[in-house]
Amino acid sequence: MSPPPPCAERGLQRRVELPLQGVDVGGGTVFPGRCPGLAYVAPSGRKMDVPISFHPSVTHDNLSVPTGAVWLLRYVCTMPKPPPPNNATKQRTAAIVRRLKAFIGKPYLHTPASVIETLVATILSQNTSDRNSARAYQQLRATWGSWDQLAQADQSEIAAAIRIGGLAKQKSATILNALQALRQHHGNLDAITLEGLDDDAVLAELTAIPGVGLKTASCVLMFALGRDLCAVDTHVHRVVNRLGIVRASTPDATFHALRPLLPTNAAVQFHVDLIRFGRQICKAQRPHCFQCPVYGVCQWDQRQAFAAAAQPGPNPVSGDLLLSDILRPSANN
């Protein structure tokens, strides 16, 4: 069976028109995009037929542009929204949301960060501990006085500043891609808000930037814009699939499946509760099923064995530090 179209997973059911940056790389022009329902529209309004694949980028070998040129196009998505979940699944999810909130006992207080600082901090948080990503973020802010200055820096300088966070070459390239694309589309980086765009539009614009994935884009929506979404990283993906809230093979698929299940105004709190729950109880190795507050509703087929063994798992590397603490150190302690 072929996989479902990624855009159908995203749940877009209306037209979305945003700038899309295409850069000539010598063998054709590369357009970031994942959706087989996309139509690319030139600035003149002329539709361009672009081959689509499931790879994060697609190429149009017949489009001739000067080497290094940047084309700003619009894309339009009209893929249908998937069917809504049944009420029983939503009620069970709501019960888990309530239990975890009571168990963790740390209400999330939203203190808005800027779009750019949230985007950069989230990129730095990938594949490392929150403590190391916090050090990398602090070093970045101490080295450059503004985001516009950082956007003009050499990649090697950025990589040196964030080395403690790991994957410095990859992350520095993604940060530069993001800053330069957003500055070209919106102007002054320190003044960008994206407030005029709805959730799907923000997700579409940010994930069109090379290196920026759905988890990073949804963190911007949560922590910068205060939107009612639950970002899904590998840890959230592990926990919600173990619990049986969704059955999905990737974090992105989990995000799309989880999104319609959550009670209104509960998604961000659920995200931070899941992070803490995954560190304290539902650990990747040797989970504490013997202490689990949602054991009775969990559907993981190994829960009984781990509960009987009662063998403690490793302590979390980052302790109780979260991405939201890095953005606003005094807000959520």
Catalytic residues: 215
- Specify whether the CB–CB gap between 122 and 320 falls below 8 A: no
- Specify whether the CB–CB gap between 289 and 313 falls below 8 A: no
Reported in sequence order, the residue ranges of the chain that DSSP labels E, i.e. its strands, are: 18-24, 29-32, 38-41, 47-48, 57-60, 70-77
Helices (H) and strands (E) in the chain, counts: 14, 6
| Alpha-carbon dihedral sign for residues 215, 221, 226, 228 | negative
Q: Which helix (H) or strand (E) holds 178?
A: helix 168-186
CA 189/CA 91 separation, integer angstroms: 42
Q: What is the dihedral of CA 54, 58, 60, 61, to 10 degrees?
A: -100
In angstroms and rounded to an integer, the radius of gyration of the C-alpha atoms of the chain is 21
CA 322/CA 118 separation, integer angstroms: 13
CA 333/CA 329 separation, integer angstroms: 7
- Specify whether the CB–CB gap between 229 and 221 falls below 8 A: yes
